[in-house]
Amino acid sequence: MSIIYILIPIAMIFVTIAIIVFFWAVKSNQYDDLDREGVNILFDEDLPAPPIKEDTESQQKTIKPSDLND
Amino acid sequence: MTLQKNCFHCGEENPPSTDFNVQINTVSQRMCCPGCQAVAQTIVDSGLTSYYEHRSEPAEKGLLLVPDVLLQLEDYDIGKIQEDFVDNVVDNNENLSTTTLSVEGITCPACAWLIEKQLRSLPGLVFINVNTTLNRAVIKWDQQQLKLSQILTGIQKIGYKAYPFQVNKQEAFYTQLTKSYLQRLGLAGLATMQVMMFAIALYADFFSGMEEQFIHYFRWVSFILATPVLLYSAQPFYLNAWRNIRNQTLGMDIPISIALLGAYTASGYATIVGQGEVYFESVSMFTFLLLLGRLLELRARRKASESSSNLLRLLPSMATLIEDPDNLQIQSVIPAKTLTVGQYIIVKPGQTIPVDGLILKGASNIEESMLTGEHLPVSKAQNAPVFAGSVNITSQLIIRVEKVGNNTLIADIIHLQDNAQLNKPKIEIIADTAARYFVAALLIVASLTYISWSFIAPDQAFWITLSVLVATCPCALSLATPTALTCATAQLNKQGILIKQHHVLETVNKINHIVFDKTGTLTKGNFKLLNTQYYSHYSKQECIDLAAQLEKNSEHPISLAFKKQQKNSIVLNDVVNRPGQGLQAKYLNKTLKLGHAVFCGVENNINSKELVIYLTLDKQLLASFELGDELRPSAPEILSYCHHHNINSTMLTGDISLKSEEVCEVLSISQLQKGVTPQQKLQYIQQLQKTDKVMMIGDGINDAPVMAGAHVSVALASGTDIAKNSADVILLGEDLNKLAALHKMANRTTLIIKENLVWAFGYNIIIVPLAVMGYVPPYIAVLGMSCSSLIVVCNSLRLLKS
């Protein structure tokens, strides 16, 4: 039974990681529009899908008109 | 192929004998109107037919693009106008602009894809993201290559309307708050799961025993895991409780904080000294459930504030500046907010006057309904004052700017509104009353328990008192109100009733007096042909066509009434518009006149409360038209609902015409106050509120202060922004019966809240004696708490069923 002295701390580390990931997801606005992302996959995108949502400050790849071939 | 009954694009019925078709994926699809046809054609031409395959809702009816509208969009390109809503960012060493637009007509995720796809083809657009929950689009573009008006036009072409809007003050705050609550909830949820796992193991100890070292170990682990929940997740409760104590009021957060901190501290102590009970799982789960309730409530509020933000369009307010009143050649169009006192501006017919000023040259009829509620234009001549927000109807004016910005009449009204908002009377809500009793009872029971057990078994006293605190934990009680309000708000949202202030649902059913504004609220606020009489061999339609053709040369609100009924165009020559009198023209070499009795030379004129105008051809009377502001069809119904529920009604209007008495009579409204200024309106309602609980419903700028001061205020979505800002509730659409729906929903909500409270108290009455006798171990406390909370939540969910 003394194995739990090791296993439980490991589990706690995992929970901590989960919480950090969740915080990051909230901060990067991933919970803002839940209706849409599920449907996105149905469309024939010949462009890389845009990032889910990004802050206006962060970097964003410019889509050149030449990428558009539809 | 059979004829399709419904429009392929918007799903409305196709009118017979029309033929609008678009080839979509090799099949010809029928549309109901040229607007839908144009939109569908654009979608096909852009290669976006995928939209039609994946959409889950029909689109909104397409609108044909009118050149005027497109011209107006160009005003948005002016730098001074953009200052209000565009931010400039530097991205990859490029200067880009970014803004958020509110988009009308988004019905499903396919719409978002369509808009993004369509706009990505524009050169210079760097980023676009359409959010279907908010109906907004974030765009980033390069001003060098692309104009904002082009982006707006692009969106219009595929059948949506986008425009910059003014973010509601509350909205940013709610968005931030929702995010932080979501984080707190996530942490509480994950930690609660862990703590619960160890708690289950500890329960096993009650039934079969466990080695001492493991019990200690599990308790320590629970202690560690519960700590962030207490310190981080539960923070808002402590802050609210502290605020309540400082303001010397009792709120639900005080007993919550007592229970949380008390239970946690005592459990922590028990863990360290190695004896007594631990309630870490109760503490964590309690925090989790409460946060869930709060988050749902916040989200409902956020939704309402976002929807109301979307209604506040930022229209570019432009002014035509002239250097010299005698030389009209040199004109420049500038944003109205840059005007200064002493400058001269030209206001053309149909334009809104941007500032307070004096008429320097010209005479015109001016519609000041926004300020006075009077929808008949007032004629004004040289040296008469004009006010920002009123509309110039008949002819061009040259105005000297007298007051700008904060000194205008509108700014005064807004100031009045802000003051009224501060002094708004409050109606006591049930939850606060319940909280007060509960806190008192809780403290008394807990102290009595401690004192009695100190005599019976001193070493047990502390732990039993703690179990009383945990068992009576006000979880169900504090979830009772928020869950019910959230469900009701969501349900009303679906019906097009936006609740901006949460207290509304609890206060509406106490309302015993509704005050109505007249113009634009009980009436439609525009002219309609009510009565027509004919005196010659000309048929009814011919007379209307003649009148409508003449009216085409006028900007008067009357012209719209005729425009709707015109069937055929008629050729008229030499049309002359005589502001304040009427119009005349040559028709078949005879003089055709439309206007007042005097202008047309009619002797025995008709007596009417409404506006009567005559149509004559060379002195021969062809027809007389009676025009008036028509009642909304839903007005009689809502008034009979009021009478039926013993709610008093008053009409409060700035209009001084006899029309008010007539409307009151038709609708059997018991009291009438007419010809009142915004200031007097506010005084009247404050007087009324000494005896009654008052709801105000209005739409104009002149109603805004009253709305801010009333117990509950309702604005129509078609109303002015200022009115919508000060309202607690916004009704989308034209149906006043939504007030009845709101009233019924408020009654149901209050009933459910009462049921919830009764249940929560009932549960406490059962559990307290057990706890006092020391029969409540941790697992019973958790079980009772979760079950009572779940029952309350399920009861609230009944409100979602209409």
B661 plus B519 within the same structural domain: yes
Residue B799 forms part of a structural domain:
no
Domain boundary among B400, B417, B434: B417
Residue B681 forms part of a structural domain:
yes
Task: Give SS3 for A53.
Answer: coil
| B221/A44 touch (CB, cutoff 8 Å), yes or no | no
Q: How far is A17 from chain B (nearest CA, A)?
A: 11
A17 burial (CB, 10 Å; 0-12 / 13-18 / 19+) is exposed
**Is residue B223 within 8 Å of residue B267, measured between CB atoms?**
yes
- Hey, how many other C-beta atoms are within 10 angstroms of the C-beta on B772? 21
The total number of structural domains in chain B stands at 7
B106-138 pLDDT tens trace: 888 888 888 988 888 888 898 898 888 888 999
Q: How far is A22 from chain B (nearest CA, A)?
A: 7
| B121/A53 touch (CB, cutoff 8 Å), yes or no | no
Contacts of B183 in chain A (CB under 8 A): 22-23, 26
Q: What is the pLDDT of residue B229?
A: 95
Contacts of B190 in chain A (CB under 8 A): 15, 18-19, 22
**Is residue B331 within 8 Å of residue B394, measured between CB atoms?**
no
> B89 — contact with chain A (CB < 8 Å)?
yes
**Is residue B614 within 8 Å of residue B594, measured between CB atoms?**
yes
Using CA coordinates, name the residue in chain A closest to B303: A32
Q: What is the pLDDT of residue A51?
A: 41
Percentage of chain B surpassing pLDDT 70?
Answer: 99
Distance CA B735, CA B750 (A): 24
- Between B191 and B762, whose confidence is greater? B191
Q: What is the pLDDT of residue B233?
A: 95
Give the C-alpha distances (Å, rounded to integers) separating B136 from A45, B65, B116, B128, B585. 21, 21, 12, 10, 49
Contacts of B133 in chain A (CB under 8 A): 32-36
B85 plus B199 within the same structural domain: no
Instruction: Tokens for B388, please give them.
Output: 């920002």
Domain boundary among B628, B649, B677: B628
For B169, list phi and psi in degrees, rounded to 5: -55, -40
Mean of the per-residue pLDDT values for chain A? 70
B513 plus B647 within the same structural domain: yes
- In the block, residue with structure tokens 């019925």: B13
DSSP per-residue string spanning B597-643:
HHHHT-SSPPP-SSEEEEEEETTEEEEEEEEEEEEPTHHHHHHHHHH
Instruction: Tokens for B281, please give them.
Output: 């799982």
Distance CA B783, CA B789 (A): 10
| A50/B112 touch (CB, cutoff 8 Å), yes or no | no
Q: How far is B754 from chain A (nearest CA, A)?
A: 33
Q: What is the pLDDT of residue B579?
A: 67
B495 plus B355 within the same structural domain: no
For B657, list phi and psi in degrees, rounded to 5: -70, 170
Using CA coordinates, name the residue in chain B closest to A47: B117
For B609, list phi and psi in degrees, rounded to 5: -70, -20
* Ranges assigned E (strand) in B326-477: 327-335, 344-347, 356-361, 364-367, 378-380, 385-386, 391-392, 397-403
Which residues pair with residue B583 across a beta bridge?
B577, B594
Contacts of A60 in chain B (CB under 8 A): 91, 126-127, 140
- Between B725 and A22, whose confidence is greater? A22
Instruction: Tokens for B572, please give them.
Output: 């008229």
Contacts of B140 in chain A (CB under 8 A): 56, 60
- Between B18 and B226, whose confidence is greater? B226
B659 plus B758 within the same structural domain: no
Using CA coordinates, name the residue in chain B closest to A52: B129
| A60/B54 touch (CB, cutoff 8 Å), yes or no | no
Q: How far is A30 from chain B (nearest CA, A)?
A: 11
> A20 — contact with chain B (CB < 8 Å)?
no
For B692, list phi and psi in degrees, rounded to 5: -115, 160
B628-651 pLDDT tens trace: 888 898 999 999 999 999 999 999
> A35 — contact with chain B (CB < 8 Å)?
yes
Distance CA B766, CA B375 (A): 64
Q: How far is B12 from chain A (nearest CA, A)?
A: 25
Q: Is the pLDDT of residue B214 over 90?
A: no
Mutate to test the interface with B, among A14, A19, A43 (most CBs of B within 10 A): A43
| A56/B116 touch (CB, cutoff 8 Å), yes or no | no
Distance CA B304, CA A6 (A): 49
Among B44-53, B429-438, B506-515, B654-663, top mean pLDDT goes to: B506-515
| A15/B129 touch (CB, cutoff 8 Å), yes or no | no
**Is residue B691 within 8 Å of residue B708, measured between CB atoms?**
no
Contacts of B87 in chain A (CB under 8 A): 56
Q: Do the strands B364-367 and B378-380 form a parallel or antiparallel pair, or are they unpaired?
A: antiparallel
- B213's CB contacts (< 8 A; 6+ apart) are none
Q: Is the pLDDT of residue B287 over 70?
A: yes
- B718's CB contacts (< 8 A; 6+ apart) are B520, B525, B699, B734
Distance CA B704, CA B694 (A): 15
Residue B604 forms part of a structural domain:
yes
B513-516: strand order across its sheet: B497-499, B729-731, B712-716, B694-698, B513-516, B648-653, B671-674
* Residue-number span of the structural domain to which B747 is assigned: 425-503+735-793
Residue B346 forms part of a structural domain:
yes
Instruction: Tokens for B614, please give them.
Output: 């005559």
B195 plus B281 within the same structural domain: yes
- Hey, how many other C-beta atoms are within 10 angstroms of the C-beta on B288? 24
CA B528-B530-B534 angle, to 5 degrees, is: 120
Which residues pair with residue B516 across a beta bridge?
B651, B697
Confidence of residue B694 (pLDDT cuts 50, 70, 90): very high
CA B355-B357-B360 angle, to 5 degrees, is: 130
Residue B48 forms part of a structural domain:
yes
Residue B248 forms part of a structural domain:
yes
CATH of the domain at B117: 3.30.70.100
φ/ψ bin of B355: left (φ > 0), alpha (ψ from -120 to 50), beta (otherwise): beta
| B194/A12 touch (CB, cutoff 8 Å), yes or no | yes
B455-465 pLDDT tens trace: 988 888 888 88
Q: What is the pLDDT of residue B230?
A: 94
Contacts of A50 in chain B (CB under 8 A): 116, 127-129
B113 plus B129 within the same structural domain: yes
Mutate to test the interface with A, among B56, B133, B141, B200 (most CBs of A within 10 A): B133
B623 plus B742 within the same structural domain: no
> B92 — contact with chain A (CB < 8 Å)?
yes
Give the C-alpha distances (Å, rounded to integers) separating B664 from B530, B629, B650, B729, B758. 18, 14, 9, 24, 43
Confidence of residue B565 (pLDDT cuts 50, 70, 90): confident
Interface of B with A in 185-214 (CB under 8 A): 186-187, 190-191, 194, 214
Q: Is the pLDDT of residue A52 over 70?
A: no
**Is residue B64 within 8 Å of residue B38, measured between CB atoms?**
yes
Give me the residue from A8, A23, A57 closest to B221, CB to CB. A8
| A15/B190 touch (CB, cutoff 8 Å), yes or no | yes
What is the helix (H) or strand (E) element at residue B788, kind and residue range?
helix B778-797
CATH of the domain at B698: 3.40.50.1000
CATH of the domain at B554: 3.40.1110.10
Using CA coordinates, name the residue in chain B closest to A27: B179
Using CA coordinates, name the residue in chain B closest to A39: B109
Q: What is the pLDDT of residue B523?
A: 87
Give me the residue from B91, B121, B191 closest to A60, CB to CB. B91
Interface of B with A in 677-716 (CB under 8 A): none
Signed CA dihedral, B687, B689, B692, B695: sign only: positive
DSSP 8-class letter at B6: B
Give me the residue from B54, B121, B183 closest to A42, CB to CB. B54
Q: What is the pLDDT of residue B3?
A: 66
* Ranges assigned E (strand) in B336-411: 344-347, 356-361, 364-367, 378-380, 385-386, 391-392, 397-403
Residue B801 forms part of a structural domain:
no
Task: Give SS3 for B138.
Answer: strand
Task: Give SS3 for B250.
Answer: coil
Contacts of B123 in chain A (CB under 8 A): 65
Nearest to B708 by CA among B506, B433, B417, B508: B417
Using CA coordinates, name the residue in chain A closest to B229: A19
Residues in chain A: 70
Contacts of B131 in chain A (CB under 8 A): 32-33, 36, 53
Residue B744 forms part of a structural domain:
yes
User: B740-754 burial string, b = 16+ CB within 10 Å, else e?
Assistant: bbbbebbebbbebbe
CATH of the domain at B40: 2.30.170
Q: What is the pLDDT of residue A45?
A: 56
Nearest to B663 by CA among B698, B639, B688, B694: B639
| A65/B121 touch (CB, cutoff 8 Å), yes or no | yes
- B16's CB contacts (< 8 A; 6+ apart) are none
Domain boundary among B10, B45, B66: B66
Contacts of A59 in chain B (CB under 8 A): 91-92
Mean of the per-residue pLDDT values for chain B? 85
B687 burial (CB, 10 Å; 0-12 / 13-18 / 19+) is exposed
> B636 — contact with chain A (CB < 8 Å)?
no
B194 plus B248 within the same structural domain: yes
Q: How far is A23 from chain B (nearest CA, A)?
A: 6
Confidence of residue B184 (pLDDT cuts 50, 70, 90): very high
Confidence of residue B765 (pLDDT cuts 50, 70, 90): confident
> A43 — contact with chain B (CB < 8 Å)?
yes
B493 plus B515 within the same structural domain: no
Confidence of residue B2 (pLDDT cuts 50, 70, 90): low
B515 plus B646 within the same structural domain: yes
Q: Is the pLDDT of residue B254 over 70?
A: yes
Q: What is the pLDDT of residue A66?
A: 43
Average pLDDT rounded to a whole number, residues B55-70: 78
Using CA coordinates, name the residue in chain B closest to A43: B50
Contacts of A19 in chain B (CB under 8 A): 186-187, 190-191
B131 plus B113 within the same structural domain: yes
CA B64-B65-B69 angle, to 5 degrees, is: 135
Instruction: Tokens for B753, please give them.
Output: 């809240």
Nearest to B713 by CA among B313, B421, B375, B411: B421
| B109/A40 touch (CB, cutoff 8 Å), yes or no | yes
Chain centroid, CA B206 distance in Å: 55
> B50 — contact with chain A (CB < 8 Å)?
yes
Contacts of A4 in chain B (CB under 8 A): 214, 217
Q: What is the pLDDT of residue B87?
A: 86
